[in-house]
């Protein structure tokens, strides 16, 4: 074979073929772990910030309530804020704010108060869309309230759901005979109205007509409605809407005008007609 001629290429024997190059696979799990750690830290930071924001808002609300109502510095006040606080602060208002405190005194009358307000502004004018309130009076607290009603025998008052009960002595031939009266509470024109629904003479239930036949005109002192004005204890922007005896307390419901936060006239104490 002449110089320069090339040798023919012989095929490699079987099993001697070059192995394909294996590409190293990148492991994905470190990135997943890193993302999970970042997510966990973000959640922890969110909840930490949320807890701090809730604590700050709650503290401010408590201080404002104590100041506005002239309550003692150690007066226990429960504050509830519905939903996450931070988004609401960013939006400029709290969707629902509930404030509750026991043994709150107003105008000489004491009761347990709960107020739920909606869309309470956290900056600017301090407006809100509206609020409702409940005031609960136990037997002793109700007696204090009814002692302000002329001629009402407040010392004899008791609570027997769904009624308020009282007793009064009627005289017959110079003898004082106690008459028990069950009164159903209702709300009318912003007042609590107590209406007689049943009468007891001794151990027996009697009708109004039978009582009149026996005692005459003197029965008018028990067979009458009693109007109890509560406006004199509350701001003008608060209106009584309902009242009922529940278990061992009398519960009064109120509507609160949303403008009370900005209108001085609504913040002034109301008056009785």
Per-residue pLDDT of the chain (273 residues; tens, 9 = 90+): 444 555 555 554 555 555 555 555 555 556 566 656 666 666 667 678 889 889 999 999 999 888 888 889 999 999 999 999 989 888 889 999 999 999 998 878 899 999 999 999 887 666 688 899 999 999 999 999 999 999 999 999 999 999 999 999 887 777 788 899 999 999 999 899 999 999 998 788 999 999 888 888 888 889 999 999 999 999 999 999 999 999 999 999 999 998 888 888 998 988 887
pLDDT of amino acid 38:
63
pLDDT of amino acid 81:
93
pLDDT of amino acid 229:
93
Q: What's the pTM?
A: 0.80
pLDDT of amino acid 2:
47
Cα–Cα distance, 150 to 266 (Å, whole number):
28
Per the CB < 8 A criterion, the answer to whether 180 and 199 are in contact is yes
Residues in CB range of 10: below 8 A, 6 or more apart:
none
User: What is 146-160 written as a DSSP string?
Assistant: HTTSTT--GGG-EEE
The domain spans of the chain are 29-128, 131-273
Count of Cβ atoms closer than 10 Å to residue 258 Cβ: 19
Q: Which residues of 33-53 are buried (b: 16+ CB within 10 A; e: fewer)?
A: eeeeeeeeeeeeeeeeeeeeb
pLDDT of amino acid 1:
47
pLDDT of amino acid 203:
80
């Amino acid at each position: 074979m002449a110089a320069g001629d090339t040798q023919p290429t012989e095929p490699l024997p079987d099993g001697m073929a070059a192995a394909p190059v294996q590409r190293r696979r990148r492991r994905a799990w470190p990135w997943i772990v890193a993302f999970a750690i970042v997510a966990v830290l973000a959640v922890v930071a969110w909840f930490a910030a949320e807890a701090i924001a809730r604590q700050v808002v709650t503290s401010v609300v408590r201080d404002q309530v104590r100041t506005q109502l002239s309550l003692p510095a150690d007066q226990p006040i429960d504050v509830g804020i519905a939903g996450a606080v931070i988004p609401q602060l960013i939006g400029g208002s709290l969707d629902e704010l509930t404030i509750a405190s026991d043994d709150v005194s107003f105008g000489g009358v004491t009761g347990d108060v709960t107020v739920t307000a909606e869309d309470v502004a956290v900056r600017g004018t301090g407006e809100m869309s509206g609020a409702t309130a409940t005031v609960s009076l136990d037997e002793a607290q109700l007696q204090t309230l009814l002692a302000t009603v002329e001629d009402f025998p407040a010392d004899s008052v008791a609570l027997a759901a769904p009624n308020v009960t009282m007793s009064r002595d009627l005289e017959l031939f110079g003898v004082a005979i106690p008459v028990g009266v069950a009164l159903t509470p209702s709300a009318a024109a912003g007042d609590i109205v107590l209406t007689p629904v049943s009468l007891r003479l001794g151990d027996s239930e009697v009708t109004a007509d039978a009582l009149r036949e026996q005692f005459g005109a003197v029965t008018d002192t028990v067979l009458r409605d009693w109007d109890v004005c509560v406006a004199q204890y509350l701001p003008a922007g608060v209106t009584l809407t309902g009242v009922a005896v529940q278990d061992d307390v009398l519960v009064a419901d109120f509507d609160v005008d949303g403008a009370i936060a900005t209108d001085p006239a609504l913040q002034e104490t109301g008056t009785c007609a």
